[in-house]
């Protein structure tokens, strides 16, 4: 059966929303049920775009709510989510929110070129192709966003992005910021 051009374009757009970590891999579906990271403590380090090693999570981050977003410049839903995360970082940074983006692009120059016209108010780290963190942190598709409470525990995992997911993420952040610090 031949699809009309509009249907084919919509199908291609939907497929981009479930983009794999690297363009070469097939698009995986998230496994049924919750992520294996829920309720666990996440701590890792990765270089920022200047090459400096940055620690995320762990003892140094306790007392802050963290949003850690794994993304790539070629991922359309990631591009839609970054302005939302930028707004969250700007509005709630003084309330104890730390937003960190981890780019999975193979080429750092692609990340820099993407961010140049629209810089964000949060730190961007770089893990080429997700080689160091992808499997370790259960990143099965992009974007994957972890929401971490003040105790350092993963409370929510978002796979993919649309407006409804963005609203849900924002509500989760507000609720976690309202919880008392440990």
43-86 tens-digit pLDDT = 999 999 999 999 999 887 889 999 999 999 999 999 999 999 99
Domain 5-178 has CATH 3.40.30.10: yes
| Euclidean distance between CA atoms 154 and 166, whole angstroms | 17
pTM of the model as a whole: 0.82
* 3-class secondary-structure state, position 18: coil
Tracing tokens 């919750």 back to the chain, one arrives at: 34
Q: CA 102, 109, 105 angle in degrees (round to 5)?
A: 40
DSSP type of residue 21: S
**DSSP conformational letter for 113:** H
């Amino acid at each position: 059966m031949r699809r009309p051009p509009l249907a084919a374009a919509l199908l291609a757009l939907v497929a981009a929303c479930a983009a794999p970590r690297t363009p070469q891999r097939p698009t995986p579906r998230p496994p049924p049920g919750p992520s294996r990271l829920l309720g666990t403590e996440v701590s890792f380090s990765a270089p920022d775009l200047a090459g400096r090693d940055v620690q995320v999570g762990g003892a140094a981050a306790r007392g802050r709510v963290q949003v850690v977003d794994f993304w790539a410049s070629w991922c359309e839903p990631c591009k839609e989510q970054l302005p939302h995360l930028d707004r969250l970082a700007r509005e709630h940074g003084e309330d104890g929110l730390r937003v960190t983006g981890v780019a999975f692009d193979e080429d750092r120059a692609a990340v820099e070129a993407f961010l140049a016209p629209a810089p964000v108010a949060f730190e961007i780290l770089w893990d080429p192709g997700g080689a160091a963190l992808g499997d370790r942190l259960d990143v099965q598709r992009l974007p994957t966003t972890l929401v971490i409470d003040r105790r350092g525990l993963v409370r929510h995992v978002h796979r993919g992005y649309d407006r409804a997911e963005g609203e849900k993420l924002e509500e989760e952040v507000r609720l976690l910021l309202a919880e008392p610090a440990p």
